[in-house]
A = this chain, B = another copy of it.
Amino acid sequence: MTNKYLTIHNDIVQQIETGEIKPNSLLPSENELKDRYNTSRETIRKALNLLSQNGYIQKVRGKGSIVIKGAKLNFPVSGLVSFKELADKMGEKPITIVHELELWKPDEYIRQQLNLSNKDTVWKISRIREFGGEKIILDKDYLNTKIVPHITKEICESSIFYYLEHELNLSISFAKKEIVIEEPTEEDRALLDLEGFHNVVNIKNYVYLEDATLFQYTESRHRPDKFRFVDFARRNPL
């Protein structure tokens, strides 16, 4: 018993992804969809606007809604997706090694990133992601202990996101991310199979809850040859 417009959205997404609706063709008009789904035009429009935001269709006034070619076949690394969800989608079978898991008194840098006081503590988690025998990614997470009091090695091995959302019932709602290229640290060299690469890609993630409180800072350090970021962007009307 979920929303109507989300149901319609998902239905159309499925039709696009299975090829039932062809790229570069027009979707049925809003009025026709309204009749088909037995609903009002506004509800249809909500569904279509979602499709537009997600890069599935392009709405053109006076014409209709064009299905964008290759929509989401190139899955986005953009958006807010956990490593596990991502790996699942790609069909890869990575191994996660929990290298470090401790209650930690944050240093100045992490205190700043998470807006913490001197008394606060964080969970410091460091995990290595291995693909096909190669250690490719080093994930370093810092979680505010006021929001996440307990965590175990087992959770870190499967999915922290899943634990937060389904066990602690925290609703993660948005993130700011920053991508920069850096020289490998000693730690990077020690833990990753860098094979002579001179840089790592550092994806810094600031993760927020539904009430806009910052609770997690993550650095995801990738070997440059295995890094790929795909994004869909609309031009904002000024």
A contact residues vs B (CB 8 Å cutoff) = 6, 24, 53-55, 58, 60, 63, 66, 68-70, 74, 78-80, 172-181, 197-199, 201, 208, 210-212, 224-225, 227-237
Contact = CB atoms under 8 A, between A and B. Distances in A.
A174 B212 contact: no
10 contacts: A78-B231, A79-B234, A174-B233, A177-B231, A178-B228, A179-B179, A179-B231, A181-B201, A181-B227, A229-B229
Contacts of A225: 181
Contacts of A78: 78, 231, 233
Given A24-B212, A211-B60, A230-B178, A224 B199 contact: yes
A235 B80 contact: yes
A182 to B, nearest CB: 9
Contacts of A197: 198
Contact of A210 (B60, B174, B198): B60
Contacts of A74: 176, 178
Contacts of A175: 232-233, 235
